[in-house]
Structure 1
Amino acid sequence: MQKTIALYFIIYVCVSAKLFSQNLKLSIEGNNALETTIINSYEYNKTHPNYSAIKNEIDSLQKTLLKAGYIENELNQIAKLNDSVFLAQLHLKNKYEFIHIYYDNLQVDSKLLNIVSDKVFDTYFVIAFNTIETTLNLINLKISEKGFPFSKLKLSNIEITDTNYLKANLITTSTKQKRLISDIIIKGYEKFPRSYLKYYLKIKSQQTLNLNEIKIKTERLSNLRFASEVKPPEVLFSKDSTTLYLYLQKTRSNTFDGFLGFGTNEDTNKIQFDGYLNLNLTNNLNYGESFRLLYKSDENDQKTFETNLSLPYLFKSPIGFDVSLRIFKKDSTFNTVNQAVKLHYQISPKHKVYAGVQSIQSNNLLNTNTSLTVFDYKTNYTTLAYEFLNPQSSSYIFPINSKFYIETNLGNRIQTNIKEKQSQISIDAFKIFNLNAKNSLFFRLNSAFLTSNNYLENELFRFGGINSIRGFEENSIYASLFGLINTEYRYQLNNYMYVHTIIDTAYFENKITNNQEKLIGFGFGFGVLTNSGLLKFNFANSKIENTPFKLSNYKIHLSLTANF
């Protein structure tokens, strides 16, 4: 019984305190109607729990008015009208719109002041009074970026010149010695290739210290496949040195890619299999190097072997070296060997240019040449290329947002001791348009053409299959000119799975057969990011213009890209 009475008592006390307490009301007026209107425009808090909160609100409003230019505003009185209403009277006085700030041009560069003011003179500059704080912060930031991280600014000798203007002196305090990066220490991934610091991140010793710029540069590490940033960089200052610490980690960058495709052979009506293996090794020697090995065999009895080696920043220079070998064999008809050597220069993390030479040699393997279009030949090209690569580190499934690669080849083909000028141009580009977090559109353009007075079958481009126009057999289409567009609407179910449509179109010409065709591929697919890698499934059908649709033309492609 006593516990019940005590409980009722506690509830009564709490409820009574709530019912009998009341909020205090605050009203603030100026010296006249105009000042009152100005004060009300700042929307101060009018309800308070006690008198102390009222006093704090008035102090806060006075500081706000001071920053706006009412530097002479003063509180006349706080009157208590009744038990719950208080009236404060403020006198705003004059508003100062502008301030003349006098500076020493030996300490502050006038070019820097042009960022914050359009009225900069030899000894002073003019700014709006209400921008003083942001202006000084920006000037101080720019001074620190020039190697003076401990600089401080303040205004002194503030005076009134007339009804709208003030004047003041700008005082700067900083160390006389500019801070340069004396040493760079990498924590976590100590064997990170140093050439990438100098040429990729553009960070090097004896460089003016600008920590904000360094943070922006180290974010570029997300574009590298073999390294990432653990936490933002830090700086250790001592009397005679400035040490920059970078916190990096080595990431898995090797990939193994393979696919298995199967479909119905139009001649035999039997299921045929095709596939490829694609191995990419990156930075295994901690040099930033990359090595690619590809082997492909398809249902047309065609075999492709390709290997590429890229060595960036050769001999600690900004120049890189690329070498490649490609061997293609068409059953027992011919084989073609393509060798290329190129030098590249990384303009920036997203831009790269190439220059080099390329040699192509093809041999007719038939004992008796029954083909009038397959001959032995040798071609030498001079190569120029440009690449743009824009990653999106926020996506696990689609790490590259856009790519553009264009290559031109100029040279001569020698066939039966006849030299003929030739040229090639190829383009490979794609772009992902992210509509929102789950929906995106993918567009890819792939095109190439060969210019020559006459053409050989064993020098034509070959396309078709999972990496070009889906729904067709791998490398089943021969062309002297082709252009294809891959499109996908992608819906991302979560961070590790997506579904997509397939709509591919292509146009090609074959100068040997005088054939011109339009192709269509369509279907659907999905991708799943597993512990082993990215598993992709494509179901696609194909159709040539002015031919009927056939269900038997379907192709199913399975591929797995594993990281290790």
Structure 2
Amino acid sequence: MICFTQISYAQDSSVLIWLTNNDEVKQEKLFLSSSSREIFLDSILTQKVAEGYLSAYWNQETKADTLFAVLDLGPKIKSVRIYSDNLPTRFNEGESKNERTYLEYSKWTQKILLQAENEGFPFASLELDSVKRDGESLIGSLVFDPGPRITWDSVKVEGQSRTSPKYLQNLSFLEIGKPFSQSKFEQATLLISCSPYFSLARNPELRFQQRKAQPVFTLRDRRANRLDGVIGILPNENEQGKVLITGQLDLELYHLGGKGRDIEVHWQRLNVETQSLSLGYRESFLFGSPLSARIGFNLLKQDTTFLNRNFELSFGYRPRPNLSLSFFTIREASDLISTFGFGEITELPDAADFRWNQYGFGLDWNTLDSPILPRSGWRFLTNFSAGNKRIIQNTAIPEEIYNSIDLNTAQYSVYGSIEKFINVNPSWGMWARSSFGWIENENLLTNDLFRLGGLKSIRGFNENFFYARSFGYLNFEQRLFFGEGSYLLAFVDGGIIQDPFSQISRDTAFSVGGGLNLDTGNGLFKFILGLGSSNEQPFSISYSRIHFGYVATF
């Protein structure tokens, strides 16, 4: 078979016309440059060689503005008979046959070289020796040259980044002195590119010297630190016709000292007498191990009803680039604030004093394309905890009430969410999230329950508006982008909530709204308007929720 190719030039473009040997037109293509034409011709030649036409070549002749190219295929090699006496057995496991088609031979040799470069021999080579032709077959000996054995040297950091080489060494999982592996280098590149602390300023490099390979990563720090102050304007339920100003402060400092140390401070005033405080500290690669550690403290003062505090200690491990596991223990304490009128009750009130020691594990599977503003990918989060809850006797409550219940019981809790980002085109995207939770105990209390409502769960309601023993809700957003981090949004939220202490134990929440996320270069400006409906809140403009604020990034 002979293929004819004709390229005609029109100003800066090239036209490629495929012809068969009987001059029938097979295909016509337009090229914008001669270099793209040459790439296409090379791809044809490579394909034919892979099919067994080892002596294929192009005969080219230029006339005026036209290039004529004739592909001479030559004879086809259908099979290769190989003797590989010096090939290490580990490269030939599961391969008992000596004769293969040429395509099988090509794949087999590529597999050997790939295995070699992942076992410390990136310069390994294969050659056919004493080659003879027998009809449409080749007979020869395969000579394997492993080349020098290469081991990993220390990771080098370049660029405008405060990241310490020791931190990057731990993050990459490339161990000094271990055999070189191309696949591990690619995995390290993926891990580093997904970091929320920095991004790759250019493609990573490998520098080989004295039988060592030094990976070089040029980094650019992300603007990950955040200072967020939000003001909420809500209807004042205590004084009709007036509004209530609430506040929120979020301070997040990441990658302190370039070592993956994080500090978080979150404060929120939900209404006149309700406030919350959350503090956290995270240390990456604890004592040089692959484990991260986090300690946290959370406080919630619910008006004059109860005060919750919990102390958390957790350890995280990342076995794969997109998978993180965590193991944690939490000590939760809750105390009543006001016990007025409890002296005459005959059963345990909805809220009571308790201590809960829980132990659990979590999973985070993340394939998002960006840790800051993802446009596509999935993320799945879940955690499960179990432990013993002990109800504490309060002197303001009659003692006989406690005598009728089991004060020490097992308590279980499950929480999870799955979210999906869909990138339809550069100016249009969608986001969907489904979340669920469940808690179980024979002496369940109001101050045990999940808290839902607000910007981070079901919008269109006050923060922590709902109490829930079990819940499931869905968030859906349409986003119209007009910049890298700026977009208009329209959302619909809906969920089912079970609260055993409510008059109607099963509530259906629904909300709609819209807003704006504006990237100013030095931060993010947010404006969200939501309108929600539930058993306890009518669908009315007077109950709309407005949240706006500015998140400074530095």
Q: TM-score normalised to the size of structure 2?
A: 0.78
**8 Å CA contact retained: 1:197, 1:203:** no
**8 Å CA contact retained: 1:99, 1:126:** yes
Q: Match for 1:205: what amino acid?
A: I
**8 Å CA contact retained: 2:152, 2:174:** no
Partner of 1:478: 467
Partner of 1:373: 350
Residues 1:204 and 1:280: Cα distance change in structure 2 (over 3 Å): same
Match of 2:529 among 525, 534, 539: 539
Q: Match for 1:533: what amino acid?
A: G
Deviation (angstroms), 1:95: 4.2
Moved more, 291-300 or 243-252: 243-252
Task: Tell me the SS of whatever aligns to 2:502.
Answer: coil
**8 Å CA contact retained: 2:511, 2:531:** yes
Provide the C-alpha distance between the structure 1 equivalents of 2:71 and 2:508, rounded to a whole number of angstroms: 83
Match of 1:217 among 175, 188, 195: 188
Residues 1:121 and 1:451: Cα distance change in structure 2 (over 3 Å): closer
**8 Å CA contact retained: 1:299, 1:474:** no
Residues 1:244 and 1:508: Cα distance change in structure 2 (over 3 Å): closer
Match of 2:280 among 308, 311, 323: 308
CA shift digits 1:253-301 (9 cap, x unpaired):
2112232221333551222222311111111132211111100002353
Partner of 2:430: 441
CA shift digits 1:346-394 (9 cap, x unpaired):
222322222232112112121524593232222221222222233313x
Is 1:149 aligned with 2:126?
no
Residues 1:335 and 1:369: Cα distance change in structure 2 (over 3 Å): farther
**8 Å CA contact retained: 2:121, 2:146:** yes
Moved more, 227-236 or 493-502: 227-236
Match of 1:383 among 352, 357, 360: 360
Residues 1:144 and 1:446: Cα distance change in structure 2 (over 3 Å): closer
Is 1:96 aligned with 2:86?
no
Provide the C-alpha distance between the structure 1 equivalents of 2:422 and 2:45, rounded to a whole number of angstroms: 50
Is 1:560 aligned with 2:541?
no
Provide the C-alpha distance between the structure 2 equivalents of 1:337 and 1:351, rounded to a whole number of angstroms: 30
Is 1:238 aligned with 2:209?
yes
Partner of 1:127: 101
Provide the C-alpha distance between the structure 2 equivalents of 1:89 and 1:406, rounded to a whole number of angstroms: 59
**8 Å CA contact retained: 1:44, 1:61:** no
CA shift digits 1:438-474 (9 cap, x unpaired):
3222112232222122332222222211111111111
Partner of 2:218: 247
Deviation (angstroms), 1:211: 4.2
Provide the C-alpha distance between the structure 2 equivalents of 1:528 and 1:110, rounded to a whole number of angstroms: 56
Deviation (angstroms), 1:400: 8.1
Deviation (angstroms), 1:231: 2.8
**8 Å CA contact retained: 1:432, 1:443:** yes
Provide the C-alpha distance between the structure 1 equivalents of 2:218 and 2:416, rounded to a whole number of angstroms: 38
Is 1:178 aligned with 2:168?
no
Provide the C-alpha distance between the structure 1 equivalents of 2:45 and 2:435, rounded to a whole number of angstroms: 66
Q: Match for 1:178: what amino acid?
A: R
Is 1:264 aligned with 2:241?
no
Which aligned pairs between 1:489-508 and structure 2 lie closer than 5 A?
489-508=478-497
Task: Tell me the SS of whatever aligns to 1:178.
Answer: coil
Task: Tell me the SS of whatever aligns to 2:373.
Answer: coil
Is 1:160 aligned with 2:133?
yes
Which aligned pairs between 1:107-126 and structure 2 lie closer than 5 A?
107=88, 109-111=90-92, 120-121=95-96, 124-126=98-100
Task: Tell me the SS of whatever aligns to 1:246.
Answer: strand
Provide the C-alpha distance between the structure 1 equivalents of 2:176 and 2:315, rounded to a whole number of angstroms: 27
Q: Match for 1:155: what amino acid?
A: L
Q: Match for 2:286: what amino acid?
A: L
Provide the C-alpha distance between the structure 2 equivalents of 1:427 and 1:72, rounded to a whole number of angstroms: 60
Q: Match for 1:422: what amino acid?
A: Q
Provide the C-alpha distance between the structure 1 equivalents of 2:553 and 2:415, rounded to a whole number of angstroms: 29
**8 Å CA contact retained: 2:56, 2:71:** no
**8 Å CA contact retained: 1:215, 1:232:** no
**8 Å CA contact retained: 1:438, 1:492:** yes
Provide the C-alpha distance between the structure 1 equivalents of 2:430 and 2:412, rounded to a whole number of angstroms: 34
Partner of 1:169: 141
Residues 1:190 and 1:381: Cα distance change in structure 2 (over 3 Å): same
Provide the C-alpha distance between the structure 2 equivalents of 1:468 and 1:144, rounded to a whole number of angstroms: 48
Provide the C-alpha distance between the structure 2 equivalents of 1:531 and 1:233, rounded to a whole number of angstroms: 27
Match of 1:343 among 307, 312, 315: 315
Moved more, 141-150 or 494-503: 141-150
Which runs of no fewer than 5 residues in structure 2 stay unpaired? Answer: 1-18, 29-42, 59-67, 394-401
Deviation (angstroms), 1:193: 4.4
Task: Tell me the SS of whatever aligns to 2:144.
Answer: strand
Residues 1:561 and 1:228: Cα distance change in structure 2 (over 3 Å): same
**8 Å CA contact retained: 2:167, 2:258:** no
Residues 1:374 and 1:67: Cα distance change in structure 2 (over 3 Å): closer
**8 Å CA contact retained: 2:190, 2:321:** no
Deviation (angstroms), 1:248: 2.8
Provide the C-alpha distance between the structure 1 equivalents of 2:350 and 2:235, rounded to a whole number of angstroms: 29
Which aligned pairs between 1:310-329 and structure 2 lie closer than 5 A?
310-329=282-301
Partner of 2:439: 450
> Which has the larger Rg?
1
Is 1:414 aligned with 2:383?
no
Match of 1:468 among 436, 457, 461: 457
Moved more, 516-525 or 336-345: 336-345
Partner of 2:378: 402
Task: Tell me the SS of whatever aligns to 1:231.
Answer: coil
**8 Å CA contact retained: 1:233, 1:244:** yes
Q: Match for 2:368: what amino acid?
A: P
Provide the C-alpha distance between the structure 2 equivalents of 1:42 and 1:167, rounded to a whole number of angstroms: 39
**8 Å CA contact retained: 1:300, 1:476:** no
Deviation (angstroms), 1:187: 2.7
Provide the C-alpha distance between the structure 2 equivalents of 1:89 and 1:184, rounded to a whole number of angstroms: 47
Residues 1:499 and 1:121: Cα distance change in structure 2 (over 3 Å): same
Which runs of no fewer than 5 residues in structure 1 stay unpaired? Answer: 1-27, 30-35, 46-59, 76-85, 115-119
The sequence identity of aligned pairs, in percent, is 21
**8 Å CA contact retained: 2:118, 2:181:** yes
Provide the C-alpha distance between the structure 2 equivalents of 1:545 and 1:338, rounded to a whole number of angstroms: 31
Provide the C-alpha distance between the structure 1 equivalents of 2:57 and 2:520, rounded to a whole number of angstroms: 68
Partner of 1:56: none
Q: Match for 1:96: what amino acid?
A: I
**8 Å CA contact retained: 2:157, 2:164:** no
Task: Tell me the SS of whatever aligns to 2:260.
Answer: coil
Provide the C-alpha distance between the structure 2 equivalents of 1:386 and 1:220, rounded to a whole number of angstroms: 17
Q: TM-score normalised to the size of structure 1?
A: 0.77
Q: Match for 1:511: what amino acid?
A: P
Partner of 2:245: 273
Q: Match for 2:527: what amino acid?
A: F
